[in-house]
Amino acid sequence: MINPVDDGGQGGGGSLPITGRPTGLTAGLGALLLAAGTGAYVVARRRRTRFVA
């Protein structure tokens, strides 16, 4: 059951609810994954053997 609040239709509260993920955490995780992918690419490229006939 929802309890109705009589605030005269003005909304009350004064601020918006926090509903999203923290942006810094998401950006940091993305940067970490990008760095890990770049590092794996560089390591794989250096370890690749080249066959010269």
Confidence (pLDDT) at 39: 95
What residue type is 52 in one-letter code?
V
Each residue's pLDDT tens digit in the chain (53 positions)? 566 555 555 656 678 887 877 899 999 999 999 999 999 999 988 887 676 77
User: Is the separation of the CB atoms in 28 and 34 below 8 Å?
Assistant: no
* Widest distance between CA atoms in the chain: 85
pTM of the model: 0.53
